Amino acid sequence: MDSVKAPGADGSFGVLPGHTPFLTVMQPGELSYTVGNKEEHYFVGGGFVEVAEGKVIVLAESAEPVSEIDVDRAKAALAQAQERLKALRQEEEAAAIERARVKRAAARITVAGRR
């Protein structure tokens, strides 16, 4: 791979050949990589990225090519999660789960809209 760009916990980050080794958390968002003139784009639902020994290892909770995102389905999932979130007290554990669902659905829509 010539380059990798991923959604980190503190914002998007890029990796080029010879990068310093590290391990980081990945947030829901767009992961892209290039090999020669070919560029690929994926939605990832969070996970981890490790850079070591000239390799980039991605452990994603979920991943799907941007071209396969069903935007209508993602919008419906976002609306459902937002409605469930309204019905919960903010301190409830279920509220944290719904906030994560809202974040994931919104990120899928954003990533799909870039292509």
What is the reported pTM? 0.79
pLDDT over 70 percentage in the chain: 97
pLDDT digit string (tens) for 81-101? 888 888 777 667 788 888 888
pLDDT over 90 percentage in the chain: 70
Rounded to an integer, the average pLDDT of 24-53 is 96
Q: How does the average pLDDT of the chain come out, rounded?
A: 91
Q: In the prediction, which pLDDT does 54 show?
A: 87
Q: In the prediction, which pLDDT does 87 show?
A: 77
pLDDT at residue 115 above 70?
A: no
Q: Are 52 and 18 in contact (CB under 8 A)?
A: no
Q: In the prediction, which pLDDT does 90 show?
A: 65
Q: How far apart are CA 25 and CA 91, in angstroms?
A: 24
Q: How far apart are CA 49 and CA 22, in angstroms?
A: 8
Predicted confidence band of residue 55 (pLDDT cuts 50, 70, 90): very high
Rounded to an integer, the average pLDDT of 51-60 is 94
Q: Which one of 2.60.15.10, 3.40.50.300, 3.20.20.70, 2.120.10.80 gives the CATH number of domain 3-66?
A: 2.60.15.10
